[in-house]
Amino acid sequence: MSREGADHALRTRGEERDRISGDLLDLESHTSFQLLKGATLRGRTLTVWTSAQQAMTRIWTLYDAYRGVLRQAEDVRARRARPGPAELEELTFLLAGPSVRPPAEAEPVERRSLRPLPVQGLSLDETVAQMDEAFRSVGEALTEIDAAWTAFLPPLESAAARLDEITRLTADLGEPPLAPGHEAELARLRSTATADPLGCSPADLDRLSAALDSRLADLSRADALRRSYGPRHTALIELIALVRTAEAEARRTYTLVAVKILLPSSTRPRPASDRLAADAGALPSGDALAGGGWVERARRLSSVEHAARDALTRAKTTTSALLGLMARRDELRGRLLATQAKAVRVGLAEDSESARRFTRAHELLWTAPCDLNQAADAVDHYQDAIHGGRR
């Protein structure tokens, strides 16, 4: 190695040493690294972190040996302004040869030997390569553990916040307390998240979250009901009155239409207003409210409200469908008469087959109650005769 080459190598290695030192300090100041260093771990996380610590120890061992060789090379270079052949030979060995002699790693006693082990030197490049491999393994371990914490801790804290809200609402509403199993499960998951984040089970947290969500939803509805019970109860009574009116209209329409149209049994109105009124009457009025029971009261009120809205929609739909059957009959009558007028224009009004089909359709449409299905087929049959005759 020439003097210029040695000087260049020393400068490059010095910059490399400073960069490695900075990277190692950054790694050790990483938040997850600091948390893990002082944590009591278990399970898979302990296994991964133990391996990472061993890799970190290996890095520092290699780095100390690497730095020692560089200091030695710098000392050799400082001896003379213009190094002679002996110094250049020594610099060549230190900067390019197997000059790094890290201490041998301790072997388990069952694999040790009483004979001295051969010491195999590493070049500076080989030393950096081994440090980089170990550095990457530590980084991968931190990334894996940090990802587990990131995925698990926020939903866990959210579950804890919901549990606090459930506890507050339970006391405020006078409801029975939450089963202690949920608090115990949350404590267990917290312990796991702290000591073994890689062993956390998302399924367990999902089940707990679902249970808390369900309970909190019940309590929130109950709390909202408590604040607005009077107006909602009054609105329910008014809604049931609308249902009663709509069902009465459906019954009147059915009676009128049933005389004229042959109706399927599915069109008969199904009254629900009396049952709904009884259910609403079983709910306490605004003047009779006291104590707890708001969760069950909210469920009952919501159930009756839902049933009343469904009944109102069903009654209106029934009336509309019945009126639609009348409109269908009138539409078929119009098609039949329009087709008859066309038959006159094309000279088929006196045709015996066409006349027979017209008579059949006319009888069906002007007979009460009218079978709409048969009438529709008869009108189509008559139209086929007229259009076919024209062709």
- pLDDT at position 297, please? 81
Residue 54 pLDDT more than 60? yes
For residue range 246-267, list pLDDT tens digits in order: 999 999 999 999 999 999 888 8
Comparing CA positions, the residue from 119, 125, 114, 113 lying closest to residue 9 is 125
Return the higher-pLDDT residue of 268 and 130: 130
Return the higher-pLDDT residue of 183 and 1: 183
The mean pLDDT of 5-22, rounded to a whole number, is 92
Weakest-pLDDT range from 82-86, 126-130, 292-296, 384-388: 292-296
Residue 389 pLDDT more than 50? no
The mean pLDDT of 316-341, rounded to a whole number, is 94
- pLDDT at position 177, please? 79
- pLDDT at position 288, please? 46
Does residue 291 come out as left (phi exceeding 0), alpha (psi in the -120 to 50 range) or beta?
left
Query: How far apart (Å, rounded) are the C-alpha atoms in residues 376 and 257?
Result: 18
- Residue 11 structure tokens: 């400068």
Distances (CA, A) of 27 to 20, 33, 93, 140, 160: 10, 7, 31, 12, 32
Instruction: Give the mean pLDDT of the chain.
Output: 88
For residue range 305-317, list pLDDT tens digits in order: 999 999 999 999 9
The full DSSP string for 142-186 is: HHHHHHHHHHHHHHHHHHHHHHHHHHHHHHHHTPPPPPHHHHHHH
List residues bridging with 370 in a β-sheet: 261
For residue range 154-188, list pLDDT tens digits in order: 999 999 999 999 988 888 888 777 777 888 889 89
- pLDDT at position 391, please? 33
For residue range 64-116, list pLDDT tens digits in order: 999 999 999 999 988 888 888 888 898 899 999 999 998 766 656 666 666 66
- pLDDT at position 264, please? 83
- pLDDT at position 25, please? 93
Contact assessment for residue 256 and residue 369, using Cβ atoms and an 8 Å cutoff: no
Comparing CA positions, the residue from 302, 323, 219, 311 lying closest to residue 270 is 311
